[in-house]
Structures are given as C-alpha cells and as structure tokens.
Structure 1
Amino acid sequence: MGQTPVVYGQSSRPPRGDYSRAADDYTCAQNYAAYTAADHDTYRRLYERQSALLPGLASDAFIEALPSLGIKDHIPRFEEINERLYRATRWEIVAVPGLIPEVPFFTLLANRKFPVTDWIRTPAEFDYIVEPDVFHDLFGHVPLLFNPVFADYVQRYGEGGLKAQRLGACEMLSRLYWYTIEFGLIRQADGLRAYGAGILSSSGELAYSVRSPEPQRLPLQLERTMRTRYKIDTYQQTYFVIDSFDELFHLTADDFTPLYERLRGLPEFAADERSPA
C-alpha cells in the first residue's frame, strides 16, 4: 500500500497529495470526512463563478451535460455521481491522491474509470492551481463523460495509451490528451468554443482561449499535435480545434504505430512556436 507521486509537463512545482493512501492501481477511497466547511465553500464558490462564465465560451455539449454532475453547493460524493454516470455511458469515477503514472492512468481509462483527485485547493489558490484538484476533475472532465461519443473517445485514448507505453511513445500520445481532453477547442455553428477540462475549469483561460488574439489556433492534426510540447503552469500559446467529437473519435481509429515511427525522426515544436500562416 502506498505509491509515489509523478510530475508531467514542465513545471517547477512539486506534486502534492497523500500517496500513502493509494492502492496498487493508484486509486483510493474518497476521504469525504476530511472535507471541511471551508473546503465545501471553496467548491461552491468555484462552481458558481465558473458556471456563470460558460455561455458563449463553453461548448454546447458541455453546457448540456453539466447538470448531470448534480449538486453544486458542496463537494459531491463520487458514488452519487457514479449512479447517474454509469447509467448514461457505463463510465464511473474513482478517487486518486493526485496525478498518477501513465500505465495505471491508461488502464483506468481503458476500463471506463476516470481518476478524480479527491483533495481541493486552498482559498489562496482560488484563482489558479497548477495540478488538478477535485474541482478541476469534477467540473472540467466529468460532464463530458456523460456524452457517449466523447466518453468512447476517452476510453479509446486509454487503450491507445497502453499500446503507446509498450512502443515507448507515451510522450507523443500525452500531447494528444493535453491538446484535446485538457485544452481542446471546438468550432460550432455559432463560433469557437472550449471543451477541454483545463480551459473549462479556469476562470481566466476560458475567455483567453476563445477570444484572445494572442494564441494560435490550429486545426487538430495528429502529427502537429504530437510534436508540440506543452507547459502546465501558463496559459497555452497553441490550441488545436476540432469540428465535432465524431471527428475526434475517428481520428484515433487507426493504428498509431507507423505515425510514432515517423515522428521519432522529426523535430519537436516548442509550446509557443508559431506555425507559418
């Protein structure tokens, strides 16, 4: 019993979380009794602020799915969400102490289990936190797991991750996760919208990603995405845009082995490197 934390991306901040609670698969029980009144109030205020920002910035699919998350005035119990989520898409959420290694992460996703960090940020981190907490994971990730096409994409990503690990290609595939599930944009009939959890749970990056003239926004293309590095402690300077979740699902239908082999010989793009117009 007990595991060690991990770090992804480029950051000077060490991870946190009580990994001594983690089982071999890095899951643990949601320590619900540990939440204080202040913790529940932090969650309520975060939910209230973020949900008010969604119109005109978040994807329609996310806005439609958000009520499925349930209560919004305190941290929900994971088992209550799972009752609805499993009925909708056969997914469930499981508690983890924080970021977990690639193989346990991919294995959980491949089995339609989404890892959710069970601790919440401090009031001093209300506006920004580097690593995911329970608000980021629940508010940002879980609503779209009620969407059947997106939920199937996340499972397919997990299955692909296990294969990438065997091929030594996890870093390339992790960039696809970062630029879709965490920081993806979608083009709707009425304009650009966010669907990535890292954007949807951030009060500042939500408007920045959709409206700011500063970052570049590129059509999602597997090769460009997998060659692009990322940072975890700044707003993104590059976003990748899809037209539908069906597009995302079908993009990942093929065997990536030839793609990985081709990319090994190509230079990478910095997180802020511009593509020619």
Structure 2
Amino acid sequence: MGQAPVVYGQSSRPPRGDYGRCGADYTCPQDFAAYTPQDHDTYRRLYERQSALLPGLAADAFIAALPSLGARDRIPRFDEINERLWRATRWEIVGVPGLIPEVPFFTLLANRKFPVTDWIRTPEEFDYIVEPDIFHDLFGHVPLLFNPVFADYVQRYGQGGLKAHGLGACELLSRLYWYTIEFGLIRQPDGLRAYGAGILSSAGELPYSVTSPEPQRLPLQLERTMRTRYQIDSFQKTYFVIDDFEQLFDMTAPDFAPIYQRLAGQPEFAADARDAAVAA
C-alpha cells in the first residue's frame, strides 16, 4: 500500500493527502470517522453558499441532479451516493488522497469510476483552495454523472486519455477536459449557464463566467480548444460554449490521432487570446 504524492504545476507546499493509504490504482477507502465536526460544518456552509447561487447561472441538468448527492448538512458517505449513482448510470465514485497521475486517472474514468478527494479544506481556505478537495469533487463533478449522456462523455474521455498518453498528446486532451468538464458553459433556451465543475464549485467564478462582460466566450471547436492554454490561478479569460451534452459525446467519437498529428505543428493560443470569430 502507498504511492508517491502527486504535484501538478508549481507549488512550494506538498500535497496534504495521505498517499500512504492508497493502493496501486491510487484509490483508498473513505475514512468517514476521521471527519471532525468542523469538517462537516465546512461542507455544510460551502454547500449552502454555492447552492444558493445556482438559479439562473447553473445548467438545468446540474440543478436537477444536485439532490442526488444526498446529505447537504454533512459530508456525504461515498457508499450512499454510489447506491444511487450505480442505479442511474452504472458509475461509482472512489476515494483518492488528492491529485493522481494521468494513467490511473484515465483508467478510472474509462471504467466508470470517478476519483473524489477524501479530505476537505480548512475554514481558512473557505473562499479559495489551490488543489481540489472533497467539496469541489462532490459538488462540482458528481451531480452530472447522474446524467446518462454526460456520464458517457466522461467515460469516453477516459478512454481517449489512455490513447493520448501513448501518443504523447495528453496536454492537448487535458485542455479539452479543462474547458469542458471543469470550465464549460452551455447555451440553454433561456441563456448561458455553467456546467463545468470548476465554475460550479466557485462562488466567484460562477457569476463571472455567465454574466461578466470581461471573458471571451466562443462556440466549442475541438482544435481551437486543444490549442488554447489555460490558467489555474485566476478566473478564465476564455470559455467555450456547447449547445447540449450530445455535442460533447459526438465530438469525442472520431479517432483523435490525426488531430494530434495536425496540431503538432500549430501555434498555441494564449489563455487570453482574442478570437477573430464572433463570440458565442
């Protein structure tokens, strides 16, 4: 048992998760008894604040699925969520100590298992946390796994990730994940809404992404998205907009290998590069 901690990007602080608890696939049981009353209260307050922001900003599909998480006044038990999630889409969530390497991550998704960090931020990090915690992963990601089309897209992404790793194209595919699963917007009949977990779990970026005149919002195009760098320490300068979740699923059906080859010689777009096309 036990794996080396994983760090992405530049950070002077080592990951806080207990990687000594995890197995070869980086998963570990949820140690529910280890959560303190303060941990449960932090989750309750985060859930209360974020859920109040959702109307008019979050995708209808997300709002409809959110009650499936169950408990909102404490950290939910993974096994209780899994009973409902398995019945809905044949997915399950598994505990991880924090960030995990690409291949184990893709492998879990390809097998319809979503990794959820098992620790929660401190009260001092209530408004901002550097790395994903249990609130971000549960509140932001898991509700849409109850949506069959979106759930199938996430599995297909995992399958594509394993292939991209073999082709040395993980950076291109990671941008697709960032601009859809983490920071995606969807156009509904009543206007723009957020469906990306990074937006939905952020009190500041949720209203900013949907209503602010500052960011650029472009129709999602696969190659433009893959060529666009992203920022991890500020609100996004560019968002990509889909029309429905079927668009995501259909977009990932073709073989990406020729696309990776074509993009290998193309320049990248900066995160704040303005597009000549008309914004969405």
> TM-score normalised to the size of structure 1?
0.98
Q: Kindly tell me: are residues 231 and 10 of structure 1, through their superposed partners in 2, closer, same or farther at Cα, counting changes over 3 Å?
A: farther
Specify the code of the residue in structure 1 equivalent to 2:170: C
* Partner residue, 1:77: 77
* Pair 1:181 & 2:188 matched: no
CA distance in 1 between partners of 2:10 and 2:184 (Å): 19
Q: Is the 8 A contact 1:96 1:118 kept in 2?
A: yes
* Partner residue, 1:107: 107
Matches within 5 A, 1:71-220: 71-220=71-220
Secondary structure of 2:142's partner? helix
Secondary structure of 1:218's partner? strand
What is the Cα deviation at residue 40 of structure 1?
A: 0.1
* Partner residue, 1:245: 245
What is the Cα deviation at residue 14 of structure 1?
A: 4.4
What is the Cα deviation at residue 276 of structure 1?
A: 2.2
Specify the code of the residue in structure 1 equivalent to 2:80: E
Secondary structure of 1:98's partner? coil
CA distance in 2 between partners of 1:144 and 1:116 (Å): 14
* Partner residue, 2:56: 56
* Partner residue, 1:254: 254
Q: Kindly tell me: are residues 248 and 50 of structure 1, through their superposed partners in 2, closer, same or farther at Cα, counting changes over 3 Å?
A: same
| Ranges in structure 2 where 5+ consecutive residues have no aligned partner | none
> TM-score normalised to the size of structure 2?
0.97
Q: How many residues align?
A: 277
Secondary structure of 2:159's partner? helix
Secondary structure of 1:50's partner? helix
1:132-151 C-alpha deviation (Å, 9 max, x unpaired): 10000000000000000000
What is the Cα deviation at residue 15 of structure 1?
A: 3.1
Secondary structure of 1:131's partner? coil
What is the Cα deviation at residue 217 of structure 1?
A: 0.6
Q: Kindly tell me: are residues 28 and 63 of structure 1, through their superposed partners in 2, closer, same or farther at Cα, counting changes over 3 Å?
A: same
What is the Cα deviation at residue 5 of structure 1?
A: 2.5
CA distance in 1 between partners of 2:247 and 2:175 (Å): 17
CA distance in 2 between partners of 1:188 and 1:276 (Å): 24
Q: Is the 8 A contact 1:228 1:268 kept in 2?
A: yes
Matches within 5 A, 1:31-46: 31-46=31-46
* Partner residue, 1:18: 18
Secondary structure of 2:273's partner? coil
CA distance in 2 between partners of 1:191 and 1:11 (Å): 38
* Partner residue, 1:67: 67
Secondary structure of 1:203's partner? coil
Report percent identity of matched pairs.
Answer: 83
CA distance in 2 between partners of 1:177 and 1:7 (Å): 18
Secondary structure of 1:6's partner? coil
Q: Kindly tell me: are residues 11 and 172 of structure 1, through their superposed partners in 2, closer, same or farther at Cα, counting changes over 3 Å?
A: farther
Specify the code of the residue in structure 2 equivalent to 1:249: F
What is the Cα deviation at residue 155 of structure 1?
A: 0.3
CA distance in 2 between partners of 1:190 and 1:76 (Å): 32
What is the Cα deviation at residue 233 of structure 1?
A: 1.7
Secondary structure of 1:72's partner? coil
